[in-house]
Structure 1
Amino acid sequence: MAGSKIEKDVFGRLPDGRNVERIVLRGAGGFEARIITHGAVLQALIAPDAKGGHDDVVLGHDAFTGYLAERKFFGATVGRYANRIAKGQFSLDGEMVQLAVNNGPNALHGGLVGFDRKLWAVAEIDEGAEPAVTLTYVSPHGEENYPGRLDVRLTYRVTGPTELSLSMEARTDRPTIVNLTNHSFFNLEGATSGTSILDHRLTVAAEHFLAIDPTAIPLPEPPRRVAGTPFDFREPRPVGERIRQGDQQLQNGRGYDHTYCLGRDGKLALAARLEAPRSGRIMELFTDQPGLQVYSGNYLDGTISGKGGKLIRQSDAMCLEPHIWPDAPNRPDFPSPRLDPGEVYRHHTVYRFAVRTP
């Protein structure tokens, strides 16, 4: 409806005939978030630029067939466990759990059929001053071999004129692990601009990062200081400025694909700032999670096309994924992903957009 802050339609259909719905949330001045129920995906995020224009700033597909055909995590909600678990194994209360190994020797992003491939239910739509949609998914005990039934509740809400908030909660009926994130690929020049993110200026509010082995599992060592390394983004630096330096960690990740240690203690705080030089768009990311995965799109290889029919290539976008640290179930020195009955897992991330002023 014209002028409405919220709209719902059918975006596509699954092979079994179930509808995939799309919910559009509108802010001020053309700001808009479009969410689809398959994978609780942020399908589009329309943000203003410094010249008064608007563009979609997240990669993905114009039609549902693209999401169904390829599992690339564009805008998806990832779980039960975002990022990697070494050898797909962890011990919980003395029992060894074996997950599917789907990324080299490791488990990645929830397994063979993670939350990104599930149809979520629309539980609530709020058409008030801060338009929102709440989606739910129930993961049964044993799904992808994770213990415990997990009840997940996720809310996308426009909390400011150009601000999108993402809140997630999960509850279980027996001890388990949980680590959720949103896996949006951002290009603040526009999803179909044809430009890379290597000249985007990035700031990350972290003094340490996790060094990884060649399979992207954290090394058995404490977090490393960013000072004096290509991983130091405490002051704004172009993403591509040091990405080709002869650094072993850059070689292991094929670029940036590392967790920065935020130490949030459950409090919402600024984690990263990304600025595009031509459009003048600025995105600030706030989160209460202890880690932020910075991924420079190293494995985008031009084999699939995205919005506007454009091939998606290396460094066409970057991910800033707030979550618990990778392989934490096997690392008692890391923040714990354990969830017990009676407890509530919580995750809150805010994407705040602005434009550069002259």
Structure 2
Amino acid sequence: MNEAVEASVDTREEAPGSSRRFGTDASGDPVTALVIGSEALAVTLLDRGATVNRIRLRDRRADDAWTDVALGFADMAGYLAHPDAFLGGLIGRFANRIAGAAFDLEGQRYTLDANNGNNTLHGGAAGFDRRHWQVTAHTPFTLELALTSPDGDGGFPGRLDVTARYTVEGSTLDLAIEAVTDAPTPVSLTSHLYLNLAGHGSVDEHVLRVPAGRVLAVDATSIPGDVVDVADAGLDLRDGVDLGRARRRPVPQVAAVGGIDHPYLPDGEGLREIADLSLPGTGRAVRLLADQPSVQVYTGNVLATGVPGHGGALYRPGDGVALEAQQCPDAPNRPDLPSTVLQPGQTRRVHIRWEFRTAD
């Protein structure tokens, strides 16, 4: 452990590079919490779901206090009680929704696990966020995990081998995911991290900017429809909008889902800025970069827990915002959207980066 990390250990509950028993999952198997970090950022991850359990940001403006900026639970009881909150989980095989829980591929019909009405959400009821991942490397600054999804898992064809590598450098958290298959299969992988830069309470005063001129309109079940102009839909976030106002705009698209739960199509390609979230008056902010064609902006419209999260409070609608960089939802049924099919011999790569910042 380097000097910078050693110097900061006594200010946190856990040291980077450490691990501890976190509880047991629904099958009775042990779950481990593993910590990576720097003198500016401490991240606790679980080997269950490759889950981001906790992010603590060092705030020099507040006498070097550490602020929890990610939603999560103190032990497995919370995750088992509220699996459909997806707090911090790594999502797969397919992030977001597939309409009708089915798709056609190369002349064959595949029926999936319908866990969201008639649709499939986040890979089904036994998605990657609820699996045990194998820890393949753990240092004070990095954690690498691996998972194998067998042919037919959740109804999806082909075996899928996935690795996820989390890295902390300074005040940046980086996630690199790779996946390979032995048969053609649609793949969309993301992190379902919820952010709250206040550490607790509503995110209404947060300001969110998303540099996207287009968005997929959705129906009342959040299945995407046409690609529309953000201004025409009343969903324009390009200049930065406080979330309290954005998620209550008197427009049909917001009314349809009780807030924002929409796939934005950020401008540009490759690793680029897809969102920026800040909390005025605190100096805390985060810039999100990713190489995916879509980012689902979800304002926690139906978020509600009966188990306290970090800080001891119950989570309520609007207490967190999820910015999920991913492939376009329902793309397996939408030839007009970028293809999500991964072929044997190819590698699906996903790169997501959270650049946190605080005012001096």
Which TM bucket (shorter chain)? over 0.9
Question: Does the alignment pair 1:199 with 2:205?
Answer: yes
Structure 2 residue aligned with 1:36, among 36, 41, 46?
46
Aligned to 1:293: 296
**Normalized against structure 1, the TM-score is what?**
0.92
| TM-superposed deviation, 1:231 | 1.2
The whole-number CA distance in structure 2 between the counterparts of 1:133 and 1:242 is: 36
Aligned to 2:152: 142
Q: Which letter maps to 2:89?
A: A
The whole-number CA distance in structure 1 between the counterparts of 2:268 and 2:307 is: 36
Cα shift readout 1:250-306 (whole Å, capped 9, x = no counterpart): 0112100001002543x1111110001243211000000110000001001354432
* Aligned 8 A contact 2:36 2:139 in 1: no
Cα separation, partners in 2 of 1:36 and 1:301, compared to 1, 3 Å: closer
Question: Does the alignment pair 1:166 with 2:154?
Answer: no
The whole-number CA distance in structure 2 between the counterparts of 1:243 and 1:11 is: 35
* Aligned 8 A contact 1:302 1:314 in 2: no
Aligned to 1:107: 120
* Aligned 8 A contact 1:85 1:108 in 2: yes
Q: Which letter maps to 1:140?
A: P
Aligned to 2:356: 353
1:1-358 correspondence runs (5 A): 3=6, 5-14=16-25, 16-29=27-40, 31-49=41-59, 50-51=61-62, 52-71=64-83, 72-127=85-140, 131-158=141-168, 160-190=169-199, 193=200, 195-219=201-225, 221=226, 223-265=227-269, 267-356=270-359
Cα shift readout 1:55-100 (whole Å, capped 9, x = no counterpart): 1111110112211232020000111001000001110101011111
State the identity as a percent: 38
Cα separation, partners in 2 of 1:302 and 1:144, compared to 1, 3 Å: closer
Q: Which letter maps to 1:282?
A: A
Which is richer in helix? 2
The whole-number CA distance in structure 1 between the counterparts of 2:247 and 2:326 is: 23
The whole-number CA distance in structure 1 between the counterparts of 2:281 and 2:320 is: 15
Cα shift readout 1:131-174 (whole Å, capped 9, x = no counterpart): 1110000000011111000000000001x310000010000011
* Aligned 8 A contact 1:147 1:174 in 2: yes
The whole-number CA distance in structure 1 between the counterparts of 2:56 and 2:352 is: 18
Secondary structure in structure 1 of the residue aligned to 2:224: coil
Cα shift readout 1:292-350 (whole Å, capped 9, x = no counterpart): 00000100135443223311111011100000011000111111110010000010000
The whole-number CA distance in structure 1 between the counterparts of 2:97 and 2:28 is: 33
Q: Which letter maps to 1:135?
A: L
Count the aligned residue pairs. 346
Unaligned runs of 5+ in 2: 7-14
Q: Which letter maps to 2:338?
A: P
* Aligned 8 A contact 1:290 1:323 in 2: yes
**Normalized against structure 2, the TM-score is what?**
0.92
* Aligned 8 A contact 1:264 1:289 in 2: no
Cα shift readout 1:119-138 (whole Å, capped 9, x = no counterpart): 000011245xxx11100000
* Aligned 8 A contact 2:202 2:320 in 1: yes
